[in-house]
Amino acid sequence: MTNPLLNTAAWSALGAHADATRKLHLRDLFAADPGRFASLSFEAEGMLLDYSKQRVTTETLGLLHDLWRAADVAGWQSRLAAGEAINHTEQRAVLHHALRHRGDSAVMHDGRDVMPDVRRVLDHIKSFCDAIHGRHWRGATGEPISDIVNIGIGGSDLGPRMATQALAAHRHRDVRVHYVANLDGADLATTLEQLQPRTTLFVVASKTFTTQETMQNAASARAWLVGALGEAAVERHFVAVSTNLKAVAAFGIDTANAFEFWDWVGGRFSLWSAIGLPLALAIGFDNFTRLLEGAAAMDRHFREAPLAENLPATLALLDVWNTNFLGAETHAVLPYSQSLGLLSRYLQQLEMESNGKQVGRDGQPLGHATCPVVWGEPGTNGQHAFYQLIHQGGRLIPCDFIAARHADFALPGHHEKLLSNCFAQSEALMRGKTLAEVQAELAAAATAVAPAPTFPLAPYKVFPGNQPSTTLLLQTIDPHTLGQLIALYEQKTFALGVLWNLNSFDQWGVEYGKQLAGRLLPIIEGKAPATGLDSSTAGLIAACKP
Ligand code: F6P
């Protein structure tokens, strides 16, 4: 066992408590305690967190708080803030919080304050936004830019893509921002179909500037542009975001048009860096600044708020409870907001790439479950697709419902219905419907003209309930609250990594597939013999031969 937490009194007490409370049903807990909402919800940073529909009692919370202290999360927060190389397998500090740090205090890395560099790049982003929005930046034919295409993948795509959609109500009206990630040429080709080379600017976003998907898409985009406007046009139509300025120059992008970031920014935490450039272009630099401020406010809250009213800590501890003590294997993220339509995809990378690991900080098997499978879709769409399984599929699926009190697009009649669905779903998941209730309902509905079915329908209509959920209620979806929301999940992810005693900041698990793809490519291209392959891989390659 490499997680010392497993040997603590807090962990054992939680195990015993889980056994003792396993049979409790949420509907009984609510019936027994009319004050349950008041004691198991709180408001902080303008957000309401209601976790009264989780399978917890105040005693559970007390034990989880003991666990938090035993894991010394506060100590790890200090190590992170001090710029220690807590990403020990890559010997890197984790300082993405510096990117949204406000005020004059230093953030130290290797004996040096990183803030002057952070501010320099922010100034560069601002002046570039001004140039594009003010129509001073002109393409090779002298026309202003109307369309920006971000070419990147993973953390160099998901964050700005998700936030651009989330903040559609705040977008700049004169430029459209598109995102291309997939190696499948259909992604780039269908994007380019809508565009004119004369008025299109590409942002090639890659921390390493070596990622196969991004380099292939960037090369194809370059060929498209050069085919229409000539080689000299590249300078006015391509900019880059990277830590690898040498590779940027080798690609033919003027490094004066490169936006730098640093190896202490992990890919999935890079939205706050120059990787946010397409977002800043989409919503304007002032709104981008508001997003950073929202995230900084959540960082402060995480550091300073007491445990019982700490948003990231509460979410993290509920995840540990559901995963390690109740045995949940998945976690659904269900925003009742079209704007947050890409949030679950974003959180998949944030949480699963960070904490989807079985080996502890000491390289030994952990011996307990870690990150659940994160998935979800916005409500109400999901209700008409997969909610059937959450209600009656018999699996434990903790859900995060996320909603805003006020709509970001205020069409009359929509928002009240949206909220009623959101709250109804968490109520139904909590209460369930018993056989007796179903039978009573059926009896009440039976009429002379609608005869009873020839078989008993009641068992099909029973809902077991007791499905745990948390509801997070924001005021609105705007740049500040979105910054808070993303940082909330980031900090939760960090805290979970500490509680699970793993390194949340490396991602060795994505390397093997890349390595094998590199070996298969020359075989598929017919440049190398198909030797040493298993019969399935050899068979699939043979089936693709012309
Ligand atoms: O999927 C692995 C990964 O390294 C992610 O962590 C990262 O966000 C993504 O690839 C893209 O990497 P890059 O920004 O270097 O192109």
For the range 69-78, what are the long-range contacts, defined as Cβ-Cβ under 8 Å and sequence gap of 24 or more? 69/10, 70/5, 70/8, 70/9, 70/10, 70/11, 71/5, 71/498, 71/499, 71/501, 72/498, 73/313, 73/495, 73/498, 73/499, 76/494, 76/498, 77/302, 77/303
Q: What percent of the chain has pLDDT over 70?
A: 99
Assign 452 a pLDDT band (cuts: 50, 70, 90): low
- 154 Cβ below 6 A of ligand 1: yes
- 510 Cβ below 6 A of ligand 1: yes
pLDDT of residue 129: 98
Ligand 1 pocket test: which of 89, 90, 96, 156 has the largest number of ligand atoms within 8 Å of its C-beta?
A: 156
**CA–centroid distance, residue 207 to ligand 1 (Å):** 7
Question: For the segment 256-286, what is each residue's pLDDT rounded down to a tens digit?
Answer: 999 999 999 999 999 999 999 999 999 999 9
Assign 546 a pLDDT band (cuts: 50, 70, 90): confident
Active site residues: 353, 384, 514
pLDDT of residue 545: 85
CATH number of 4-80+291-431+467-506: 3.40.50.10490
Rounded to an integer, the average pLDDT of 477-483 is 98
- 155 Cβ below 6 A of ligand 1: yes
Model's pTM, two decimal places?
0.97
- CATH 2.60.200.30 is held by the domain 114-283: no
Half-sphere exposure at residue 486, Cβ-oriented, CA atoms within 13 angstroms: 35
Domain positions in the chain are 4-80+291-431+467-506, 114-283, 510-543
Same topology, domains 4-80+291-431+467-506 and 510-543? Answer is: no
Q: How far is CA 185 from CA 193, 229, 523, in A?
A: 12, 21, 20
Question: For the segment 171-200, what is each residue's pLDDT rounded down to a tens digit?
Answer: 999 999 999 999 999 999 999 999 999 999
- Widest CA span in the chain: 84
Poorest-confidence range of 89-93, 194-198, 413-417, 442-446? 442-446
Whether the per-residue pLDDT at 1 is higher than 60: the answer is: no
Rounded to an integer, the average pLDDT of 5-21 is 97
Task: Using alpha carbons only, give the angle 68, 72, 77 rounded to the nearest 5 degrees.
Answer: 105
Q: How far is CA 407 from CA 16, 48, 336, 337, in A?
A: 44, 16, 10, 8
Rounded Cα distance between 367 and 365, Å, is 6
Rounded Cα distance between 145 and 136, Å, is 9
Whether the per-residue pLDDT at 447 is higher than 90: the answer is: no
Report whether 326 contacts 319 (CB < 8 A): no
- 242 Cβ below 6 A of ligand 1: no
CB atoms within 10 A of CB 104: 6
- 208 Cβ below 6 A of ligand 1: yes
Q: Whose CA is nearest to atom 3 of ligand 1?
A: 154
pLDDT of residue 112: 96
pLDDT of residue 130: 97
- 54 Cβ below 6 A of ligand 1: no
Rounded Cα distance between 303 and 478, Å, is 23
Task: Determine phi and psi for 535, rounding to 5 degrees.
Answer: -65, -30
Question: For the segment 60-84, what is each residue's pLDDT rounded down to a tens digit?
Answer: 999 999 999 999 999 999 999 999 9
Q: How far is CA 248 from CA 103, 241, 407, in A?
A: 32, 8, 42
Report whether 270 contacts 155 (CB < 8 A): yes
Question: For the segment 115-128, what is each residue's pLDDT rounded down to a tens digit?
Answer: 999 999 999 999 99
Task: Using alpha carbons only, give the angle 311, 315, 320 rounded to the nearest 5 degrees.
Answer: 145
Report whether 470 contacts 51 (CB < 8 A): yes
Reduce the DSSP state of residue 123 to 3 states and report it.
Answer: helix
510-543 topology per CATH: Phosphoglucose isomerase, C-terminal domain (1.10.1390)
CB atoms within 10 A of CB 179: 23
Element (H, E) at 297: helix 285-304
Assign 339 a pLDDT band (cuts: 50, 70, 90): very high
Whether the per-residue pLDDT at 451 is higher than 70: the answer is: no
Q: Whose CA is nearest to atom 6 of ligand 1?
A: 267
Q: Hunting for tokens 């939760």 — which residue is that?
A: 492
Q: Hunting for tokens 């809250």 — which residue is that?
A: 301
Minimum-distance ligand 1 atom for the alpha carbon of 214 = 16
pLDDT of residue 454: 75
Rounded to an integer, the average pLDDT of 503-518 is 95
The mean pLDDT of the chain is: 96
Rg (alpha carbons) of the chain, rounded to whole number: 26
Rounded Cα distance between 89 and 541, Å, is 35
pLDDT of residue 166: 98
Residue 423: burial class (beta carbons within 10 Å; 0-12, 13-18, 19+) = middle
